[in-house]
Amino acid sequence: MELRQKLILASGSPRRLDLLKQVGIEPARLMPMDIDETPKKSEHPRSLARRLSTEKARAAEAVLKGDLAWKDSYILAADTVVAVGRRIVGKAEYLEEAASALHLLSGRNHWVFTGLCLITPDRTVRQTVVETKVRFKRLSGLDIESYLASGQWRGKAGAYAIQGIAGSFVQKLVGSYTNVVGLPLHESLQLLSGEGFDVQSGWVEG
């Protein structure tokens, strides 16, 4: 891959990495950025996703500043926020948080927002926010108890991973499925290709 085609993914998410690999894009470097993800007072979930993705991209850019090996690279960052109305359902770290989130999502619609931020080699910043509407079935006590026992909720926005067991909870999904996994592929590739990144370079059979 040519130098100008180097992509840095400002994330440590295995799901985002797998999604990019699914479409033939292998990031040259993973740079998970440790930033404060606390929502601001009255911050809309969409605005939070946009802000955090931008902060992650900017943080990676700052780390790489002056490093000639990465001066011609693209930096892609993403942040996913789950919300019921304006209420943000954060990443669950404890069992009680996960249980509360699942009870909240049970039998109702929620929104998944993923903010995307791309910083190009000439340091142009491109942003977008992708939204998907998801409806869960009404979860029984056994559903919730068994899902909590699976551990698949840990560290996940909304306390669930749609690509795992929780996929069976989804009654209806309107929008991008990959957005709910954590990286909307269509929009990510649109951002990249729009700024000159050859998204098809990895499609050649070899």
Q: What is the Cα–Cα distance from 60 to 10, expressed in whole angstroms? A: 6
Count Cβ atoms within 10 A of the Cβ of residue 113 and give its class: 0-12 exposed, 13-18 middle, 19 or more buried: buried
Give the CB-side neighbour count of residue 47, counting CA atoms within 13 A: 9
Closest CA to 163 of 18, 9, 11: 18
Per the structure block, which two tokens stand in for 205?
């059979």
Closest CA to 37 of 23, 24, 49, 26: 49
Per the structure block, which two tokens stand in for 131?
């939204």
- 79 noted as active-site residue: yes
Of 18, 34, 36, 79, the catalytic one is 79
Give the CB-side neighbour count of residue 90, counting CA atoms within 13 A: 10
Residue 170: enclosing H or E segment and its boundaries?
strand 170-174
Facing residues of 79 across strands?
115
| Active site amino acids | 79
